Amino acid sequence: MIRDIDERIQDIDKEIETESSKESDYAADVKIKELKSERKKLLKQCSNPTPADKVYLARHKNRPKVDDYINALFDDFFVQRGDALGREDKSILGGIATFHGVPVTVLGHRKGRNINENMEYNFGMPEPQGYRKAMRMMKQAEKFDRPIITFIDTPGAYPGLEAEENGQANAIAKNLAEMSALKVPVIAIVTGEGSSGGALAIGVANSVYMLENAVYSVLSPEGFASILWKDSSRSAEACDLMKLTAQDLKRFHVIDGIIPEPLGGAHHNPQKVYRELDNMLVAELTKYKKMSPNELARNRYEKFRHMDAAIIAKAKK
Amino acid sequence: MRDKEQLYVNHWYEDLYNCFSHFLQKIGSGVKTMSIFNRTKAEQSEDSAGSKHSGHISDYSEDFETAGKDNKDKSEIPEDSVVETITCSACKKEIPAEQMRKCLCVCPECGAHNKISAKRRMHSLVDPGTFRKLKCPVPFVDPLAYPDYKDKIEGLQDKTGLDEAVLLGMGEIEGHKAMIGVMGSEFLMASMGIAVGEKITHAFEIADKYKLPFIMFTASGGARMQEGILSLMQMAKTSAAAQRFGERGGLYVVALTHPTTGGVSASFAMLGDITIAEPDALIGFAGPRVIEQTIGQKLPAGFQRAEFQEEHGFVDQIVPRAEMREVLSQILRLHEKRRWPL
Ligand SMILES: [Zn+2]
């Protein structure tokens, strides 16, 4: 289990820190050396994560978050808040920025990195206002010919009383429909966990990428186990059955590519992940530059229209 | 009794028409003068003169099964079940099955709208003899290799007489042609997997091809978990199809019925130009149980019901089942003539 290894590594990191803060002496140096070699050995054991391991890594608290990606990949970020209909939903972060000098619209689910931030951002679970805010930004991007880049990382749309009153279903449906027809390039990246319609509502893109250890599924493994077997503790079993890893989704033609992660997960070397993402975005945007606005909309429509065509054709045989 | 007569008359016309059209084809004449027969048939031969994809195609047989008595696929005609009484889900009274059928499963005692099978619903909506099932075979797909999934689907196909959780086709409502879809909650809670998504998307495309309005009766527990991520993708596929249909000027009417939740509510069910709902239908994204667990309190009475959705602005009108045909006919009538400016 990567969880155990990862927790041990976190302990080692803490120990190394305490040892390093001590007066330098021979014993401490030896200790640090030992710890570092143990850490190295442990990391090597992370090379073949199971689906359940990936779910753990995808939700890791130290995993880069949407604001990390925005800071690392874009310049001149101008944050945009509110749905312009009465509410600001902090579980979506977005705005205008430049990518290699080109204005783009960037947005994504915001989970926060500690319990206070988690609470403030509702653990990255948007209410309808969050989806409407996202759509407002995307419509503006279309108006001003800006490519759209979205970062997906959510346990799902928030299942709350007010969320229902304000039309959670309606907000998600509208996003799916309107995103499908946008006349600018849309690139979506599943960076952590992408669960249910709450993830897809900012994921109807010309190109969809996943980080190597990200997961994307019809709902969380816990929810899956709870609905189908009335037992949420069977989530590890659900992880195996659900086919929710990047490699599975690539086989299903649901995603276009996988962004490699360093051993042990993205948080072990975020810079490497940012570089990979930067390369991918440059390549994708260069590709879509050649398409007219109508071609871009058609390209996206066809992608989702025929996403399962190969699987249907295979079943026919 | 009247219905039977109508059915008979329709068939009679059809047979007569068939005789005539053979005759006319032989002598190489058009059938334009044959307005005595329904327009469909008359336009059919016009189309064979080569006006394909003009928006006035009327050779429906490419995309629809034939209507009427020779139809091998009796999708419209519900089987009469063997049960003698049906228990009302609301007042728990035992109602004679015959009486329940006559009332379209609306309880004669308390007025509760009990579940109605997809076939029976379709039968209750269309003019007799006008239903033509949409041709759209989708093979069984099992992307997760989910245990016993195939057996389950095959069992349901036998039991319900449906090939999947949605029944689609063309029919007339008081003479107005439309593409009509009815989801059958008797088929695995009418959850949306690849087959349901594909059929509905195809129906949007065919409705656009023939410039038919599209009426969709939704009912669903949401995405089909057993098909994993590909069931989620059906939300994007069907929503995109609804969007495109709308951009091309198509009229899309949604009738929300009990229960419409999850991935279906958050896709094509919420994208209608006109949205009506049956009384007391549960309509929402998250299920009530999940919400109660999340917020740690009981939900108020009437939460997520059709009346609640109407109050919050997501439903145009609540329409009792008995008035459904009439209201749909009105909606179709109001959209039939687009003549502005006069
Ligand atoms: Zn009753």
Number of domains in chain B: 2
Asked if the structure places residue B202 within a domain, the reply is: yes
Q: What are phi and psi for residue A225, nearest 5 degrees? A: -65, -40
Please indicate, yes or no, if residue B49 is contained in any of the structural domains.
Answer: no
User: Same structural domain for residues B178 and B233?
Assistant: yes
Closest CA to A257 of A247, A265, A267: A247
Q: Are A240 and A205 in contact (CB under 8 A)?
A: no
The whole-model pTM stands at 0.90
For residues B72 and B206, membership in a common domain is answered with yes
Rounded Cα gap, residues A104 and A126, in angstroms: 22
Are B107 and B230 in the same domain? no
B132 located within any domain = yes
Tell me whether residue B47 is in a domain: no
Residues 6+ apart with CB under 8 A from A11: none
The tokens describing B325, both together, are: 């045909």
Window 299-328 of B: residues touching A by CB (8 A cutoff) are: 299, 303-304, 308, 312-314
B108 and B150 assigned to the same domain: no
Same domain, B202 and B94: no
Sole residue written with tokens 């379209």: B104
Strand partners, B207: none
**Residue type present at position B264:** V
Q: Is residue B268 part of a domain?
A: yes
Q: Which CATH architecture has domain A53-316?
A: Alpha-Beta Complex (3.90)
Inter-chain CB proximity B233 and A168 less than 8 Å = no
Residues B287/B289/B290/B296 CA torsion (nearest 10 deg) = 140
B83 shares its domain with B187: no
Same domain, B295 and B243: yes
Q: Are B277 and B309 in contact (CB under 8 A)?
A: yes
- Looking at the structure, tell me whether residues B88 and B158 fall in a common domain: no
Question: Which residues of chain A neighbour B242 with C-beta distances below 8 Å?
Answer: 177
Domain limits, chain A: 2-45, 53-316
Asked if B190 and B165 count as a contact pair (C-beta separation under 8 A), the reply is: yes
Structure tokens at B28: 């190489």
Q: With an 8 Å Cβ cutoff, are A160 and B299 in contact?
A: no
Q: Which of B55, B46, B51 is nearest to B208 (CA)?
A: B55
**Residue pLDDT tens, chain A, 317 long:** 899 999 999 999 999 999 888 877 888 889 999 999 999 999 999 999 999 999 999 999 999 999 999 999 999 999 999 999 999 999 999 999 999 999 999 999 999 999 999 999 999 999 999 999 999 999 999 999 999 999 999 999 999 999 999 999 999 999 999 999 999 999 999 999 999 999 999 999 999 999 999 999 999 999 999 888 988 889 999 999 999 999 999 999 999 999 999 999 999 999 999 999 999 999 999 999 999 999 999 999 999 999 999 999 999 88
Which domain covers residue B179, as residue numbers? 3-23+65-76+115-335
Contact predicate B86/B97, CB 8 Å: yes
Which residues on B lie below 8 Å from A228 (Cβ)?
Answer: 225-226
Q: Cα of B21 to ligand 1 centre, how many Å?
A: 51
* Interchain contact, A170 vs B270, CB within 8 Å: yes
Q: Assess whether B103 and B154 both reside in one domain.
A: no
B131 and B100 co-located in one domain:
no
Task: Quote the CA–CA distance of B104 and B91 in Å, as a whole number.
Answer: 16
**Is B91 in the same domain as B163?**
no
- Say whether both B216 and B301 belong to one domain: yes
